[in-house]
Chains A and B, each alone.
Chain A
């Protein structure tokens, strides 16, 4: 570990020493714990400020326009302008709303996302709580976000919100499964649920060892964060931004903060699970973590600015008929490969071969089926006949 790499840890140790002179041991732990909490809040909220700007800028560039460029240099402080605007808005609660739940739901949106950050290793030794069930915790807590959405939609007393809720529940239940399978594949290979262990096991990033799992995880987490092309929950062209339709002012902003924090979580977890986390040459670990995470975040935004939305039945079909069986097969094959060839370079290489082979097999199967199909849509999608 270089000096820069270890700098945050050195600072923390120095702080511990300093506190140890005046406080008992439990007091030191308490203060250090509180500092960690504050740091996590900063790490979770800072990306929100950056992403508010970045999303608009990326979308604008994709659309051949400038995006925010008046508030500060390159429009960088647009998030603060937003915050001021939103804080001065009237807080409206509809008559038909279930008042208590309606007020509580926005607070609930952010909590699961913040909790996930506790198990993300952001650099060497830089993790708030290295749980031995880390990734299980992340998956379990991540899926709690749906509770907040159900609370918000149901309490709004709006039919559009109701439709949004139906969609979101169906979507989240369906995408938990492929996500769990892809995570399971990673756990199987790394031999532990701890996130630090998963990162350390990636001599070669898992995205190169099992691309199927990596892509599935990415897509499933897009669905879980309700991002395009799975943003059915919002569906502004048909259900007019569904779940946050009746919200205004700061409560509305909470949904956005939650969404942006969630995007950052997608990036962080994808990095941890598949891109080798904080590992990388030359630069310190936390820099690598940040670079990789922001790269994934950029892809999320890029997808948003290019793809249309899927339909709800197609979305479910895609999960249940393609992602779930594919990942189940992938899980078994990868398990077999690593059992036979070991987790070394040979195993990794064979796993990649098996992954590609599986994709080719599925592709061939789909093409064959499409050739004999009479459905115009199937033929157009698979064979490109229009």
Chain B
């Protein structure tokens, strides 16, 4: 009979929901307009700008040194790498020579920041998977020890305001090295513990493998960078591709993962933490004596011109473009925000997955909303 064999689909309406601006999984004030068919995501549309603080504009009214605390707040998870990128750009503009010792201190601080940022990335990913805060708090606990090192050197735990164009604000204090050695030794143990506890959990495997696959060509086309790109099998790292500071003096590898799914991104973060720790140890062992500040950097007035400098921040390629009119303040400052550009691939990654996967994929991209909106 015709009316029986006729295929009939169950027509259901799609539902549009607002994930955010206030939502536990957006890590800040970020709005994701998701269209759902049942649990399946049909479309997402990121709405940005809820956390826009106009940092780039404010920097035009601040001297270069006054801008550093602002730069800290761009991506508040990794303030020291933001400072590093900014100082790097100003140094390029003003032609400053950073003393050897300052470069080593910067590398140590930047790599510890990377470890810290990746820790939050893996910890929060578990939170989004629904583990009631436990892995996240394990990561947080270790992050506090890294904060201890920062506090001793810079006087602040989070918003360090430490690096300056031409060097770092102050030299490392007495006894800093002992503490740093203790903390880094602890980190090694923490990585092993965390990896053993988490990386082979069955529910975790089921929830992350083949979820949010990011093919290498899409990643390149979307101009993605950082661990997200490397987890798709592209061995691109600014530290290697365009060496800055003293990174070319250390022995380390650029880890990559072949598949580009959420699980690979997770393992990528874990692998990069170990590499960063190795760099920190080498830098601590080879730390030279000497001044930590270029004398020319006093009363900083860069000549007229423009400069673009970039570094490998924990999230990826972080660039600062600074235009100077010869005054004490920049004429214009523009940030190439990693998080914002890494977000461009989100739509292609989540379509067809469920709502539950959407928050996990978003978490695995490790975007800080403050950095997206600036």
User: A residues bordering B, Cβ < 8 Å?
Assistant: 59, 62-65, 159-160, 162-163, 166-167, 228-229, 231-232, 235-240, 304-314, 375-377, 380-381, 384, 386
Contact = CB atoms under 8 A, between A and B. Distances in A.
A240 B128 CA distance: 11
Contact of B132 (A228, A313, A314, A386): A228
A10 B249 CA distance: 84
Interface string B273-290: 000000000000000000
A238 B358 contact: yes
Interface stretch (B42-50, B196-204, B220-228): B196-204
A308 B138 contact: no
A237 to B, nearest CB: 5
Interface in B125-141: 126-134, 137-138, 141
A377 B130 contact: no
Q: How large is the interface on B (under 10, 10 to 19, 20 to 34, 35 or more residues)?
A: 35 or more
Nearest to B129: A308
Nearest to B36: A163
B344 interface: no
Nearest to A382: B202
Contacts of A231: 130
Given A305-B132, A311-B206, 10 more contacts: A167-B39, A237-B359, A238-B355, A304-B132, A306-B131, A307-B203, A309-B131, A314-B206, A376-B209, A381-B206
Contacts of B130: 228-229, 231, 235-237, 308-309
Given A163-B39, A380-B205, A312 B141 contact: no
Interface centre among A63, A162, A166 (most CB of B within 10 A): A63
Contacts of B133: 59, 63
B245 interface: no
B23 interface: yes
28 contacts: A63-B138, A64-B137, A64-B141, A163-B15, A163-B39, A232-B356, A235-B130, A236-B130, A237-B359, A238-B355, A239-B355, A240-B23, A305-B132, A306-B131, A307-B131, A308-B126, A308-B129, A308-B203, A309-B203, A312-B356, A313-B354, A314-B207, A376-B209, A376-B259, A377-B206, A380-B205, A386-B205, A386-B267
Contact of A377 (B201, B205, B355): B205
A381 B205 contact: yes
Contacts of A65: 137
Contact of B39 (A62, A166, A305): A166
Contacts of B138: 63-64
A162 B38 CA distance: 10
Nearest to B359: A238
Contacts of A308: 126, 129-131, 201, 203-204, 207
Contact of A386 (B128, B200, B206, B359): B200
Interface string B185-215: 0000000000000011111111101100000
B17 to A, nearest CB: 5
